[in-house]
């Protein structure tokens, strides 16, 4: 409880009054001038003792303290720190995109490569050679080819792929399609041989076969009839295709320089085809009786094939290779020998009416041989780069 100012004044006044009374009672009376003789005749000591006995009567002071209404403490508000204003960044203006045109889809057929008929060429100075080429696949939209030489001093090439030898040395001719598919021909140019008797002729580089296979492995030929053999050589850029043909028994069958076999009498004979570098392949031929006399008497008799055999059943070729398929028709007295040839993918492999196939582009295709009476035989062709 707090004391008011008025109450404090009252209490202070009472205390001062008490102190003043005590001071006055304890103070001795003073005499001025000469001291009077003791009129009472009593001893001064007695008087002093009487003085000491006198005790002032204390005054009772009643202090009434009126409680005042409690004053509620005043809450002092702590000042809140002022936040420093954050500078507001200006919004970045986003550029408005212009609408783009919808791209037109490219439906053109792109080239997968360009095939050349040679990869290496030897030319005499001032002579020319026309390179044959084919864009793959056959239905490529843009079939343009750009030709270039890495050494125009040795050999040049025009826009059509014609190479001209300029001086001795070697150069690389590049053929490039519109979508940058390339192929190359390496050209070696040599000087013209000197007219002097002492001059040494420049040797010509020959490319020999690495494989030979005939279009038949076995065959039956009627007496008096013939069979045409063909020799297939690899690689395709062989420079000498000559083949030597021989018969193991000329009394049964003979063969000419072009591989044509003529059956002379009944029996078995082996016909051999041999390359200039000694590679061989053989075919076993059986000469059977000829029933042409009976056929003459029955000119309306038609004999259809009962079986055909297509060989090889599968083969791998490089792009640009040409190959003769071999077909055996049975029985030997068939009169209807017509065969229809088909390719499942002409863009990869094409086949002509004689069964000769050409590898156009990498992939796989099935070659089908079909007789007039519906007998079918197939062969799988894999074309590599």
Q: What is the pLDDT of residue 195?
A: 54
pLDDT at residue 85 is higher than 90? no
Q: Which residues 6+ apart lie within 8 Å of 241 measured at CB?
A: 231, 233
State the chain's mean pLDDT as an integer. 78
pLDDT tens readout for residues 292-309:
645 444 455 678 899 999
The arithmetic mean of pLDDT across residues 259-273, rounded, is: 92
Full-model pTM: 0.31
Average pLDDT over residues 229-255: 87
pLDDT in tens, 93-152: 666 666 666 667 777 888 888 888 777 888 888 999 998 888 887 778 888 999 999 999
Q: Which of 57-66, 243-252, 306-315, 338-347 has the lowest mean pLDDT?
A: 57-66
**% of the chain surpassing 70 pLDDT:** 73
The first and second tokens of residue 14, run together, are: 């009472």
């Amino acid at each position: 409880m707090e004391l008011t100012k008025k109450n404090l004044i009252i209490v202070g006044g009472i205390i001062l009054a008490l102190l003043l009374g005590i001071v006055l009672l304890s103070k001795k009376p003073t005499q001025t001038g000469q001291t009077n003789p003791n009129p009472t005749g009593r001893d001064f000591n007695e008087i002093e003792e009487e003085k000491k006995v006198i005790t002032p009567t204390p005054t009772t002071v009643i202090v009434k303290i009126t409680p005042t209404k409690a004053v509620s403490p005043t809450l002092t508000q702590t000042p809140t720190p002022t936040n420093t204003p954050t500078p507001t960044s200006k919004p970045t203006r986003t550029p408005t995109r212009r609408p783009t045109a919808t791209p037109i889809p490219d439906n053109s057929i792109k080239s997968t490569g360009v095939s050349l008929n040679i990869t290496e060429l030897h030319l005499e100075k001032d002579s020319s050679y026309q390179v044959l080429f084919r864009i793959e696949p056959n239905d490529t939209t843009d079939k343009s080819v750009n030709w270039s030489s890495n050494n125009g001093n040795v050999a040049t090439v025009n826009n059509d792929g014609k190479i001209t030898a300029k001086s001795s040395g070697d150069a690389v001719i590049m053929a490039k399609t519109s979508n940058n598919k390339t192929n190359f021909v390496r050209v070696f140019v040599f000087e013209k041989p000197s007219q002097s008797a002492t001059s040494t002729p420049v040797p010509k580089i020959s490319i020999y076969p690495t494989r030979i296979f005939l279009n038949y492995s076995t065959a039956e030929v009627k007496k008096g009839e013939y069979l045409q053999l063909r020799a297939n050589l690899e690689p395709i850029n062989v420079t000498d295709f000559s083949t030597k043909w021989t018969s193991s028994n000329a009394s049964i069958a003979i063969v000419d320089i072009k591989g044509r076999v003529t059956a002379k009498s009944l029996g078995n004979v082996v016909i051999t085809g041999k390359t200039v570098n000694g590679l061989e392949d053989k075919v076993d031929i059986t000469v059977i009786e000829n029933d042409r006399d009976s056929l003459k008497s029955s000119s309306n008799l038609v004999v259809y094939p009962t079986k055909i055999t297509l060989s090889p059943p599968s083969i791998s070729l490089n792009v640009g290779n040409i190959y003769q398929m071999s077909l055996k028709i049975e029985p030997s007295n068939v009169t209807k020998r017509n065969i229809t040839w088909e390719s499942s993918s002409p863009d990869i492999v094409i086949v002509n009416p004689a069964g000769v196939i050409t590898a156009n582009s990498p992939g796989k295709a099935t070659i089908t041989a079909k007789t007039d009476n519906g007998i079918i035989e197939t062969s799988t062709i894999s074309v590599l780069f």
